Amino acid sequence: MTVWQAIVLGIVQGLTEFLPISSTAHLYVVPQLLGWGKPPTSFVAVIQLGTLVAVLSYFSKDIWQIVRDVIVRGPRAKLGWMIAVGTVPAVVFGVLFEDAIEGSLTSLYVISGSLIVLALILWLAEVVASKARTMEQLHWSDAVLVGLAQAIALIPGSSRSGVTITCGLFLGMTRETAARFSFLLSLPAITGAGLFQLVKEREQLFASENSTAALVVATLVSAVVGYASIAFLLRYLKTHTTFLFIGYRLVLGGILLLLLWAERLQP
């Protein structure tokens, strides 16, 4: 992988990790369309650490207050424990289905299907949900249910932010609250997945100076672009629906199916 390719993949990761359009789908599709081949699952997981830095930077005050309150049993301690509880399903399902997540589920047929089906579910959430509850009104049940939704995001193409925001909307959260809780909930999941793959596949990831440089560059670029992506989405959802992203997912999923059927892409 060249430095230029790493920069492109870092931009793709940073742009799509927090928008409800699936970063994994884009990281598997964009390289194929450009003739580069599919990047390793370990590479995809590790460069998510860049977007982890973006979340830590953007929500640094919130995170500090939550950690402090957990220690001293302050008012935001409950939110900290809710994030911990919501992380458990993703850990359990990630361990149980690791082989499928890294193997058969990376098929572009699965990814295109996930894009389309979950776009329709997000559309339903936009139509029927009340969208009124704020962060201060979240309950333990919200943490469990959004956490289960995050586990569904282990299926490539579903989008971690997409399924958690969708679940939040169904639970009556405002769009901004659903997105904010989704981003905070991503911290343990992204950290765990990224560090696990970094250790597990370290020999492959750091096999040469070129591969090491590519990994570092892609991660740094994803951090910068990811920060801008978070800022954009939170501002956007204050005054807009998610229909833009729903339409994008439907179009992308349809195009992928057409390219697969025409054998322009390899599943």
Instruction: Render pLDDT for 38-64 as a digit per residue (tens, 0 to 9).
Output: 888 788 888 988 999 999 999 999 999
Residue 204 pLDDT greater than 90, yes or no = no
- How many domains in the chain? 1
Query: Residues with Cβ < 8 Å from 86, sequence gap 6 or more?
Result: 143, 144, 146, 147, 150, 185
Instruction: Render pLDDT for 54-103 as a digit per residue (tens, 0 to 9).
Output: 999 999 999 999 999 999 989 899 999 999 999 999 989 988 888 887 77
Per-residue pLDDT at 264: 85
71 occurs within a structural domain: yes
Give this prediction's pTM. 0.91
Provide mean pLDDT across the span 33-39.
Answer: 85
In a 13 Å sphere around the CA of 12, the CA atoms on its Cβ side amount to: 19
Per-residue pLDDT at 35: 87
Instruction: Render pLDDT for 212-262 as a digit per residue (tens, 0 to 9).
Output: 899 999 999 999 999 999 999 999 999 999 999 999 999 999 999 999 999
Per-residue pLDDT at 226: 95
Mean pLDDT over each residue of the chain, to the nearest integer: 92
267 occurs within a structural domain: no
182 occurs within a structural domain: yes
Q: Which residue has the higher pLDDT, 147 or 38?
A: 147
Per-residue pLDDT at 185: 94
Which structural domain, as residue segments, surrounds residue 45? 3-261
Three-class SS string for the chain? Answer: CCHHHHHHHHHHHHHHCCCCCCHHHHHHHHHHHCCCCCCCHHHHHHCHHHHHHHHHHHCHHHHHHHHHHHHHCCCCHHHHHHHHHHHHHHHHHHHHCHHHHHCHHHCHHHHHHHHHHHHHHHHHHHHHCCCCECHHHCCHHHHHHHHHHHHHCCCCCCCHHHHHHHHHHHCCECHHHHHHHHHHHHHHHHHHHHHHHHHHCHHHHCCCHHHHHHHHHHHHHHHHHHHHHHHHHHHHHHHCCCHHHHHHHHHHHHHHHHHHHCCCCCC
154 occurs within a structural domain: yes
Instruction: Render pLDDT for 152-201 as a digit per residue (tens, 0 to 9).
Output: 998 989 999 999 999 999 999 999 999 999 999 999 988 888 888 888 88
62 occurs within a structural domain: yes
28 occurs within a structural domain: yes
Per-residue pLDDT at 190: 85
- Range in 18-27, 93-102, 119-128 the model is least confident about: 93-102
